[in-house]
Amino acid sequence: MGAQWKAKHKDIAANAKGKIFGKLVKEILVAARGGADPTMNSRLRLAVEQARKASMPKDTLERAIKRGAGLTDEPVSFEHVIYEGFAPHQVAVMVECLTDNVRRTAPEMRVLFRKGQLGTSGSVAWDFDHLGMIEAAPLTPGADPEEAAIEAGAQDLEPGEEEGTTLFYTAPTELDLVSKALGAHGFNVLSAKLGYKPKNPVSAASLSAEALEEVEAFLAAIDEHDDVQNVYAALTD
C-alpha cells in the first residue's frame, strides 16, 4: 500500500469510469504540451497507453491530445501542485493535483485536511522517495520478476496492488527506458508513472480498527476531489 494509496473498494476509489477518464484526460492535456506525437513524447506515450487500457473512447483521447498540444481554440492551463501533511494518527500524506484554479483548490484542500494536518512545502516530502513506478504482469507463467528487474535496470521491486503483478521502482529519469525494457523481458506493463514511496511507513496492523477506518476515510475523501490525481500515504499492510 505504500507506493500509492488506493481505496479498498473500487466503487469508492473510482466512482465510475468518468472519474478515471477525468484524471487521464488531465494528464494527457498536460503531457501533450511537449508535443502531440506519442513516439516523440514519452510522458504522452505512457498517458495514452493508460487511457487505452482504461478503454477511453478514441475521439475523447484524440481531442485531449490536440487540445493539450494547442491544436484547437480551447486554451489549457493546468498547474501541478503538491499538498503535504498528515492524515489522522500521524500518517504522512503527499497529494498530487492538477488544477486550473489554485485559488479554488487550496482552500478546499485545507478543509479536507481539517481531520488531519496540512503542512508546508517540504514538511513530509523528506520522508518519501521520488521514483518511477511501473506495475507489470508476467506475459508467461513463471517469468521471474527479480531477473526481469535486474535485466531491465529497475532499482527495486515489490508485489503489486493486483494479484500476480509486480511493482518495479526506477530512478525518475529511467522510467521510460525501464518500462520499455520490461516488455522485452517477459512482462506486460500495466501502468508507469512518477510517484512517491514512503521511507518509514506506518503499519496498518499497528493501528486499531477504529483508527485505521479514520485514516481510510480521510484518504478516500481527498482522493474523491476532482483536482486530485494521486494520493501517496505512508501506510503499509
pLDDT in tens, the chain (237 residues): 445 666 554 444 445 567 888 899 999 999 999 999 998 998 898 899 889 988 999 999 999 999 999 999 888 888 999 999 999 999 999 999 999 999 999 999 999 999 999 999 999 999 999 999 999 999 988 889 999 999 999 999 999 888 889 999 999 999 989 999 998 899 998 888 899 999 999 999 999 999 999 999 999 999 999 999 999 999 988
Do 231 and 95 contact (CB within 8 A), yes or no?
yes
Transcribe the chain into DSSP letters.
--SS---SSHHHHTSSHHHHHHHHHHHHHHHGGG-S-TTT-HHHHHHHHHHHHTT--HHHHHHHHHHHTT-SSS----EEEEEEEEEGGGEEEEEEEEES-HHHHHHHHHHHGGGSEE--TTTTGGGEEEEEEEEEEESSTT--HHHHHHHHT-SEEEE-SSTT-EEEEE-GGGHHHHHHHHHTTTEEEEEEEEEEEESSPEEGGGS-HHHHHHHHHHHHHHHTSTTEEEEEESEE-
Nearest CA-CA partner of 197 in 171, 223, 228: 171
Domain 129-197 has CATH 3.30.70.980: yes
Say whether 129-197 and 79-126+199-236 share the same fold. Answer: yes
CA distance 20 to 40: 25
Contact in structure between 99 and 81 (CB atoms under 8 Å): yes
Rg (CA), the chain: 18
Residue type, 55: S
Burial of residue 153 (CB within 10 Å: 0-12, 13-18, 19+) is: middle
CATH superfamily assigned to domain 79-126+199-236: YebC, transcriptional regulation domain (3.30.70.980)
- Rounded Cα–Cα distance for residues 132 and 170 (Å): 5
What are the grid coordinates assigned to 195, written together? 510517484
Residue 12: per-residue pLDDT: 46
Burial 92-117 (b: 16+ CB within 10 A, else e): bbbbbbbbeeeeebeebbeebbeebb
Residue ranges per domain, the chain? 10-68, 79-126+199-236, 129-197
Fold of 10-68: Arc Repressor Mutant, subunit A (1.10.10)
